[in-house]
Amino acid sequence: MESDIRVISIEPCFSDEVARVPLKFGAVVMDRVTYCHVRATVENRRGERGTGFGGIFLADFWGFPSKVVPHPERDRAIREVVRYFAKVVENYKCYAHPLDIFLETMGFRYPWISGWSERG
- All structural domains of the chain, each given as residue ranges with its CATH number in brackets, are 5-119 (3.30.390.10)
Instruction: Give the pLDDT score at 11.
Output: 97
| Tens place of pLDDT per residue across the chain (120 aa) | 677 999 999 999 999 999 899 988 777 888 999 999 999 999 999 999 999 999 999 988 878 888 898 989 999 999 998 999 899 999 999 999 988 888 888 765 444 444 444 444
Instruction: Give the pLDDT score at 110.
Output: 47
Instruction: Give the pLDDT score at 96.
Output: 92
Please tell me the distance from the alpha carbon of residue 53 to that of residue 10, in angstroms, as a whole number: 10
Residues composing the chain = 120
